[in-house]
Amino acid sequence: MTDLETRAAPPGAAALRRAAPALVGYAAVRALGLLALALWSAARDKSAYTLLTARWDALWYTRVAELGYGYEVRLPNGDVHSNLAFFPLLPWLERLLHTVTPLSYADAGFMVSLLASLAAAWGIFAVADHVYGRRAGVCAVLLWAVLPVGVVQSMAYSESLFTALAAWSLYAVLTGRWVMAGVLASLSGLTRPVGLAVVAAVWVAGVVSLVRDRRVESTGGAQTTVRAPRSSLDAPPRHERSTRGAHVTQRAVGLLLAPLGAAGYVLWVGHHTGKGPLGYLDVQAGWRNGFDGGLAFARFIMDKFTSIPSALAGVGLIVGVALLIRLYLVCVRQRQPLPLLVYGGVVLALALCASSYFGSKPRLLLPAFPLLLPLALALARLRTSRSALVVAGAAVASAVYGAWWLNGSGPP
């Protein structure tokens, strides 16, 4: 599928049945990862649940849910870590669940992540199935599950929630549901700064489809004037005109809705801090976050070449970045639908070109599921027994790595 032509989506119950193998496989992989984490943590006298729900960014989200915005930490070097850096949708959902259930804020964050990860897996399947077929959809979900940092999908973090909103927004674009695409894009913009990638995908797809429709109308009009003098018979039937008008209206509404979430929060932060529309950038600067085109990351890699052990890590980083770029180029060569290329490209660029927290880049790349589609296609071409063996081996490796990672340095 190379253009924006859409097909009707299957009904809900039929869609769930079609996605069932992918969701069951995803749940099994995540269960294995959580089991490995529990065993590893118990051996080190740590709480696996605490690692998932009350460490690193998860603490910041629960503080926002409980106390609202305004909390900050001033470091000895002068940096200011403000909770305004964390977008509000996840803490809003944590507060909602805490209000209507006996769950604590941390428990609510874990529940949101659990449900959102399943929704993300279903959304990834829906996109891949729509473009490449059911077998590729199942493989795409399993590959997303067995990523080395896949354990983050089970943490009280915003990655799973964001990926779910992004995947379903892209699916809505692919199936011509523009208002739904805009709503989900807006919600993704309330979840993480990388919501910009979803907004960009919706807008580019909308503009391209508008240009295509105009070209089709222009061509049809030219043919009509050649055939006969202009008359009421030359106009399309009234129901076709109304359908076309409704489609244009829905697309316009979707495009208008898409950026509202991110723009609304960024503008609110600017007003709240008194620093104007760019106040959010100052908040991120307090965390030493920014976008420098990848210069800081390049220096970080080059600094590794000071000794043989660290040089091996530097080589590994270079190879990893090269493989990611190659994967994206394969996506382009395979002519993925434009919304997927735009979304995947923006997520990749934002992750690689951020100027801080270099150890978090694998986590930041977690939502870039379109990059997995070439691998999913290759896996889908294998015999079932062979593909199952590959996935099983990757699942074990991912579970062990995730358990070791969270019990060590973990997410920054």
- Is residue 307 pLDDT above 50, yes or no? yes
Interval 93-109: pLDDT, tens: 999 999 999 999 999 99
Q: What is the pLDDT of residue 179?
A: 97
- Is residue 304 pLDDT above 70, yes or no? yes
Q: How many CB atoms lie within 10 A of CB 187?
A: 23
Interval 165-180: pLDDT, tens: 999 999 999 999 999 9
- For the entire predicted model, the pTM comes to 0.91
Retrieve residue 325's tokens.
């770029």
- Is residue 218 pLDDT above 90, yes or no? no
Interval 116-130: pLDDT, tens: 999 999 999 999 999
Q: What is the pLDDT of residue 236?
A: 43
- Is residue 221 pLDDT above 50, yes or no? no
State the average pLDDT over residues 19-36. 98
Q: Work out the mean pLDDT of the chain and round it to a whole number.
A: 90
Q: What is the pLDDT of residue 9?
A: 65
C-alpha 190/C-alpha 142 separation (Å) is: 27
Q: What is the pLDDT of residue 291?
A: 84
- Is residue 132 pLDDT above 70, yes or no? yes
* Among 358, 343, 202, CA closest to 289: 358
Output the DSSP codes for 149-184.
Answer: TGGGGGSSSSHHHHHHHHHHHHHHHHTT-HHHHHHH
Q: What is the pLDDT of residue 8?
A: 62
Residue 174 burial by Cβ neighbours in a 10 Å radius (0-12, 13-18, 19+)? buried
| Residue pair 48/41 in contact by the 8 Å Cβ criterion | yes
82 three-class SS: strand
Output the DSSP codes for 104-123.
Answer: -HHHHHHHHHHHHHHHHHHH
Residue 160 pLDDT grade (very low, low, confident, very high; cuts 50, 70, 90): very high
C-alpha 265/C-alpha 80 separation (Å) is: 20
C-alpha 213/C-alpha 351 separation (Å) is: 34
- Is residue 357 pLDDT above 90, yes or no? no
Q: What is the pLDDT of residue 277?
A: 86
| Sign of the C-alpha dihedral computed for residues 168, 173, 179 and 181 taken in this order | positive
- Is residue 229 pLDDT above 60, yes or no? no
Q: What is the pLDDT of residue 7?
A: 62
State the average pLDDT over residues 46-68. 96
Which residues is 72 bridged to in the sheet? 82
Q: How many CB atoms lie within 10 A of CB 370?
A: 30
| Residue pair 209/215 in contact by the 8 Å Cβ criterion | no
Rounded to a whole number of angstroms, the CA Rg of the chain reads 23
Interval 268-293: pLDDT, tens: 999 999 998 889 999 999 998 888 88
